Structure 1
């Protein structure tokens, strides 16, 4: 793994002992800003209060209590005022829970740092660090910023905050400054990063990145910056809420007029309207959705996928096609030497030595670096080098051999090298067959040859070489990628590999990781449009080789035109159009350019295809959980609103008083927000993969939601009217109706969750327990205008709950099958 370092900030600062001086610190502070990795928390008591008073339930309670005070009913007013405590407490708890992730991040940051400034060591607040500072980090301390390790022995670091891996990571000091003047990739083993803790040794860190530029700061910033964005689904929910508010307002006005005309008086009319209004107010839906959306951002971050725009939390779970890069995503992005095949009379070491002699240490070519790593060049002076070019397809080094003249070492494309060697036609064809066989398995193959020269005229020899053998390199497939590709394909997600490599290499990699089966269909990018015309728009290939940025974007558009929701991976400026045009653009965090990261709504921290599949699974699990939460709200909200409106309209005494609405809301809110969010994942990737369209509920699911709501409404309405009787025993009738609704809440929760978690068990049992206490304890029931129920009443309520459970459980089964 590598990270790009802004080397220009560290120019002349590679000493292990010299820090910055005052004027330079002031200059850098003005340019780069303070080391404020996390923004100051705005979750003080004033902010909590500001969020709490936005809750319409608070104003409902205050307004209704004020109404009772004006009427002289101080007992009822006191009960409503007391109900403010759990309502406000729940709002405060949920607000603090939302802020807990940021607070947890803050706990991992260093508040102080020991810095060398003006020639001496001093302790400063970490926020005062600037790029270029030299920081001394003792064992057990957190790194205060991202920087390069200049000294330290036996260094081990806990990086679990960023990577999730509990094992310590070994670190090494960087031996020499990079040669590039601009940003350059430096191995992660040389980095110390903010929020990670040094376990052993003492390190000296040259700060390179501060504040929000640190990886730690980026996680916090990208996560928190999505909270206020409206996604399409969120906007649709807001639109639905506005419509329901208008309907509720009209219905409440009509109800108040009707109750007043029926002769119940102004107080009853107002209470009827206010109670119906608060029951019909669907504020739970946008609140729950926003809560789940923020939760999704943090969970995807835990999967090494940073979310930059909240809309992706919706889209990632609905992806049906992934157009993925090969190098660095499916493969490790590095060359490895796999095969050395020497010619007759030579050994492995001879072939490697010839290849190393034709390589240069000063080049950044990974192939040269591998050869020099595996072998020593001839220990002779190099007289001349004829470098590799696309036209020549070879590189030749001329070396002086004492008393023996000169020798030429050559490496290059096998066809080119073989053509310059003295070989029989049969031998040449044998080597070419072996070369093609290795290439068919995805290897990059080069050939090496040598030539002894009795004289040399400063020109490159063109013939007379002795063939020495071939070397085969490959970019190894990342561990677990084959399994991840298989998992995605089983989930109905199509995987198309896009690469600039030769078709032969691309086919070999696709075959190895399971894209397209044993014989993947490969086409060149140049033939993409012709293939689509030939197949009338069908896209039945598995790999696109030699693909340009414009062709990649055209492929994305073609897939979208066929109804696919496309995720695209990319790492360079040339990938920006496709990343922007995709439904979900995924930039590589390790090797990706800034341009790619700017346009992509998701940035992968580890550049790994497995992370994409995990992120899709997490998105789908979140969507499943959100659907279950909304199903619960609809199943319980429908009978609450229906009975709150129908019973007064039919001329009966009020079923729900304000305190009863408070009680029911105290059951609904925490259940919807807390029970379903941590629902355990099963084979959610495979199950949800069959859902091709954006549809929150299918027709059978809507039918079950309506059926459960109707059943509960009928039982509540019938129980109330039947128990009201000729003597108008309102407390008893009200107890029966409300207990059916309360027990139904527990039954619906149990059916949708199958009691797979402890919160689900508690949310299923606590409503029943609260109902028992509220109705059977005489002082409590009198305060709530209820009366104890008889055994027959409990049997009827329990029977209704069992029926509701059975129907609601079919919803959860249908959800599993889709």
Structure 2
């Protein structure tokens, strides 16, 4: 068996073979529902039990043929329901796989980002602060590494790690970085043996789900009350208790709203799957409904608005500025003036040896182009001590030891004002540095100060950077171009009534310049220091107006989120670091960066941008609005088609007419309603002006009184048409079976026709046919074909107790059902002036 090379990592072919032989890196506790679980859920549903009850009554009445037909429908409905559940479950499982911890693996000499489930034994993994360790292993390298192992030990204090120490799956790297060789994966890890699971994506409680539960409970109460009334009336008027119970079951099958929660879950799960195809991972499904309510979008600058592809643009020493963007590469340093060699040298020394940060990578690239054959690169030096960046001091230092000198070398880089403070610059020099940094920042460049110090080798290292005697070297300015799609995406947000707020740690002038390029309002920029000094009332006033915040420390993001929420805003917030997690969790929608983000940030977030693309956020908001709009229309349609079922169950009993509907007919109607709701409406593109409308109010219900009124009105129109035609045909020479057949044709045709005006909230006549999807045509065509089959094929028609219709009766029934489209559209237009919620005016 090939072993892992310490410099190139595991061979990709070996990794693929090992993954195939040993299975994925999962904990062995299946969260995936089996087909048997799904079938059992269907068996315990009210609709299934009602069908069985109806079949038992037919057997008691001696009608075994009808009972067997019902049993056939039970099998069909179960199969369709299980397939629908399977589709939803597959969508959720795909999201679970995406949301597992990611790993940076060294394979074949190349660092690749892979899913945690694809990690195999003997993989070499690079781990850094904020990473969730995906498997058990042994450290080959460790630099200031500490891990939080509280989920295994219960001990909250981080544990310092050294080379050769073990680290465990599921634990969190809280500082430093290292190289890990995987020893065990999956259920063989410590976490797997304990039996915990991190791979959990579930539908959380949400206002929409609670609203749906309340509506379902109300409809159940109404339905059961109507069933009891129908049974009592039937028994009292006709004296046949078995027929009375059968009529009650028929009505219960038509009234009980078992589709509503199922439709909601399908819509949210499939919306999440569609978002995943657009490189946006949904970790919490209820975030999809909240997306349409977003009023403020708080975003980072670096990597979100900009490309996160930094390059050194300028070097400044003592007021002298050198533009290096078009400088030709020369390894001997001849293209770069000697005066600037030391500045670049110490910028590299203040960076990581193997940097992941794009800014530090830019320093290393420039040094490779200009300092390779000079004395300013020091590959033999060892990094003895690192002083990390902190919210209190926006600068970091590296202490290097060459092994021969009596002094260690200290290199520092950070915010110009922080490094100037470390150097104790006189006021005049500090002002000059500030002015130079401001001029560079006005061009949208990120500006860093660089300094150096010496420290006696035999002396104890100080605890704080302030204890070194630093000497100012100069400024380094880096360019990070704006993403080309950002201005248009910001404009889309503005049209949609969403305010974009930029929160960055950069210089205020850099922030203002980038905001101007992106189209974000930047009349005033507030810094973190100003934020700290603001009383709560002033902060509340400022967050209403200011859209650019600079030099913001991570913990101040949380204060901004809370201040915005206190103003009644629905806040979406992007973040990538460990310290961003509280703000991501506090925001209504936390959005983590997938490529440069830490596992901690991803776990705290509701959405993860797999490509760190700002435009993807706008796509997600559009998808959230579209899903909510489609779900609303599906619910309006669902309620509407249940109204005639109630009418056709009650009215014939009240007027002494033969019954129109039997349990078999209701089962057929359920096969029509479910695909129409879950397939047709979910696939709708939605109104073209969705992103020109203001955000949905946080307290706006899915179904207002006016939406319910529209459903009842549309359903009542169908009821009147069906019962009217039925009663008229009974008064003609036509047989009762002819009348019931024609009435059923009208009912099904009207339900199919109701799909057209229900697809959107538009009221224009041409909107009935505009944007018809192939799915809509297939469902409508399939419904009419199935209707033709059960009314014309003799053995099917006998099962449904239908008789062949004459061409005249067919024409009358179909025409009556399809012409109702005109009435449906007129109803929407009639309700429109008093129901703005049906179609909000564009912003």
Asked if these proteins are the same fold (TM beyond 0.5), I'd say yes
Query: Counterpart of 2:824 in 1: which secondary structure?
Result: helix
Q: Does the aligned pair in 1 maintain the 2:648–2:719 contact within 8 Å?
A: yes
Query: Counterpart of 2:545 in 1: which secondary structure?
Result: coil
Q: In structure 1, how many angstroms separate the alpha carbons of the residues matched to 2:747 and 2:645?
A: 8
Q: Does the aligned pair in 1 maintain the 2:753–2:818 contact within 8 Å?
A: no
Which of 773, 796, 804 is equivalent to 1:757?
773
Q: Does the aligned pair in 2 maintain the 1:222–1:306 contact within 8 Å?
A: no
Which of 653, 658, 661 is equivalent to 1:656?
661
| Cα offset, 1:177, TM superposition | 6.3
| Superposed CA offset, 1:19-46 (max 9, x none) | 9xxxxxxxxxxxx998337865855553
2:439 is aligned to 437
1:744 is aligned to 750
Query: Counterpart of 2:299 in 1: which secondary structure?
Result: strand
| Superposed CA offset, 1:157-184 (max 9, x none) | xxxxxxxxxxxxxxxxxxx967564589
Farther off after superposition, 804-813 or 782-791: 804-813
The alpha-carbon distance between structure 1 residues 551 and 180, as it changes in their structure 2 partners (threshold 3 A), is closer
Q: Does the aligned pair in 2 maintain the 1:58–1:84 contact within 8 Å?
A: yes
| Cα offset, 1:226, TM superposition | 3.5
Q: In structure 1, how many angstroms separate the alpha carbons of the residues matched to 2:745 and 2:693?
A: 36
Q: How many residues are matched?
A: 702
1:526 aligns with 2:530: yes
Query: Counterpart of 1:262 in 2: which secondary structure?
Result: helix
Q: In structure 2, how many angstroms separate the alpha carbons of the residues matched to 1:800 and 1:78?
A: 35
Within 5 A, what are the aligned runs for 1:362-441? 363-364=351-352, 366=359, 369=364, 371-376=366-371, 378-379=374-375, 435-441=437-443
| Cα offset, 1:14, TM superposition | 2.3
2:14 is aligned to none
Question: Mind listing any 5+ residue stretches in structure 2 that lack a counterpart?
Answer: 12-21, 125-139, 149-179, 323-333, 401-410, 453-467, 760-768
| Cα offset, 1:776, TM superposition | 4.4
Query: Counterpart of 1:267 in 2: which secondary structure?
Result: helix
| Superposed CA offset, 1:632-656 (max 9, x none) | 2122122222332233233322121
Query: Counterpart of 2:375 in 1: which secondary structure?
Result: coil
Q: In structure 2, how many angstroms separate the alpha carbons of the residues matched to 1:229 and 1:412?
A: 42
| Superposed CA offset, 1:641-673 (max 9, x none) | 233223323332212111111111110012111
Q: Does the aligned pair in 2 maintain the 1:356–1:372 contact within 8 Å?
A: yes
Q: In structure 1, how many angstroms separate the alpha carbons of the residues matched to 2:688 and 2:824?
A: 27
1:55 aligns with 2:28: no
| Cα offset, 1:597, TM superposition | 3.5
Q: Does the aligned pair in 1 maintain the 2:26–2:117 contact within 8 Å?
A: no
| Cα offset, 1:254, TM superposition | 1.8
Query: Counterpart of 2:544 in 1: which secondary structure?
Result: coil
Q: Does the aligned pair in 1 maintain the 2:95–2:281 contact within 8 Å?
A: no
2:739 is aligned to 733
The alpha-carbon distance between structure 1 residues 768 and 776, as it changes in their structure 2 partners (threshold 3 A), is same
Q: In structure 1, how many angstroms separate the alpha carbons of the residues matched to 2:730 and 2:526?
A: 75
1:67 is aligned to 57
RMSD of aligned Cα (Å): 5.3
Q: In structure 1, how many angstroms separate the alpha carbons of the residues matched to 2:73 and 2:416?
A: 83
Q: Does the aligned pair in 2 maintain the 1:743–1:768 contact within 8 Å?
A: yes
Q: Does the aligned pair in 1 maintain the 2:527–2:552 contact within 8 Å?
A: no
| Cα offset, 1:541, TM superposition | 0.6
The alpha-carbon distance between structure 1 residues 642 and 817, as it changes in their structure 2 partners (threshold 3 A), is farther
Within 5 A, what are the aligned runs for 1:584-595? 584-595=589-600
Q: In structure 2, how many angstroms separate the alpha carbons of the residues matched to 1:649 and 1:533?
A: 68
Query: Counterpart of 1:539 in 2: which secondary structure?
Result: helix
2:766 is aligned to none
Question: Mind listing any 5+ residue stretches in structure 1 that lack a counterpart?
Answer: 1-11, 20-31, 109-129, 152-175, 185-204, 399-408, 451-459
1:719 is aligned to 725
Farther off after superposition, 612-621 or 487-496: 612-621
Q: Does the aligned pair in 2 maintain the 1:743–1:801 contact within 8 Å?
A: no
The alpha-carbon distance between structure 1 residues 71 and 461, as it changes in their structure 2 partners (threshold 3 A), is closer
TM-score (norm 2): 0.70
The alpha-carbon distance between structure 1 residues 815 and 770, as it changes in their structure 2 partners (threshold 3 A), is farther
Q: In structure 2, how many angstroms separate the alpha carbons of the residues matched to 1:391 and 1:659?
A: 75
| Superposed CA offset, 1:675-726 (max 9, x none) | 2223236646504544334332456644433331221122122222222227
Q: Does the aligned pair in 2 maintain the 1:316–1:615 contact within 8 Å?
A: yes
Q: In structure 2, how many angstroms separate the alpha carbons of the residues matched to 1:413 and 1:235?
A: 48
Q: Does the aligned pair in 2 maintain the 1:309–1:601 contact within 8 Å?
A: yes
| Cα offset, 1:276, TM superposition | 0.9
1:296 is aligned to 271
Q: In structure 1, how many angstroms separate the alpha carbons of the residues matched to 2:281 and 2:187?
A: 14
2:174 is aligned to none
Q: In structure 2, how many angstroms separate the alpha carbons of the residues matched to 1:513 and 1:436?
A: 19
1:98 aligns with 2:103: no
The alpha-carbon distance between structure 1 residues 146 and 482, as it changes in their structure 2 partners (threshold 3 A), is farther
Query: Counterpart of 1:309 in 2: which secondary structure?
Result: coil
Q: In structure 2, how many angstroms separate the alpha carbons of the residues matched to 1:631 and 1:609?
A: 34
Q: Does the aligned pair in 2 maintain the 1:292–1:626 contact within 8 Å?
A: yes
| Cα offset, 1:784, TM superposition | 1.9
